[in-house]
Amino acid sequence: MTALTGLGTPQTASPELLRSVFRQHAAGVAVITAPGSRPAGFTATSLTSVAADPPLLSFGVGTGSSSWPAVSAAEYIGVHILGEHQQELAATFARSGADRFGPATSWRTGPEGVPLLEGVLAWLVCKVEARVPAGDHCLVIAQPVVGDPAGPGRPLLYHQGRFNALRD
């Protein structure tokens, strides 16, 4: 049997092991928004394209998060792909207790009443198709109904617990 390189001592599965492994996985950064009596939103790195026909995407949201009540009730949600120039916006929507839709955030009400963030690389308004319980989170599956893929800049990434820009 040959020795395997790059493999350390295996660890028993735990929340910390999962977090440690996914710190090694660079992910795009998105902000999910939902309408309501007060708009809600959060930073997500779990955004995934699910299917092309019909177009479907998914993301996870913690059921204990402050955004969960609005996301759980919303018929439509906004998905915003952030640019490398939007690290502070990503941090604002990731921070617990932050005034996410305060004066420092440029946004407008879009189709279906969904809050749309200004200056993003791309955005979609999506109809929620399903909410699937998944541990302390819920997996939301949604179908895009309208959007714009032509914003300025390059994507913001999340890696090793920090927001990063692409390197040339």
Strand 48-52's sheet: what is its strand order?
A: 40-44, 30-34, 76-81, 122-134, 137-148, 55-62, 48-52
pLDDT of residue 32: 98
pLDDT tens, N- to C-terminus, the chain (168 residues):
555 666 778 888 888 888 888 888 889 999 999 999 899 999 999 999 999 999 999 999 999 999 999 999 999 999 999 999 999 999 999 999 899 999 999 999 999 999 999 999 999 999 999 999 999 999 999 999 999 999 989 999 998 889 988 887
Task: Tell me whether residue 151 is exposed, middle or buried, using C-beta atoms within 10 angstroms of its C-beta: 0 to 12, 13 to 18, 19 or more.
Answer: middle
Sign of CA dihedral 14, 24, 162, 72: negative
Q: Give the model confidence (pLDDT) of 124-164 as tens digits.
A: 999 999 999 999 999 999 999 999 999 989 999 998 889 98
Complete domains list, the chain, with CATH: 15-149 (2.30.110.10)
Asked if residues 158 and 45 have their Cβ atoms less than 8 Å apart, the reply is yes
pLDDT of residue 6: 67
Biggest CA–CA distance in the chain, Å, is 62
pTM of the model: 0.90
pLDDT of residue 4: 60
Tokens of 18: 């999962």
Alpha carbon 13 to its chain's center: 24
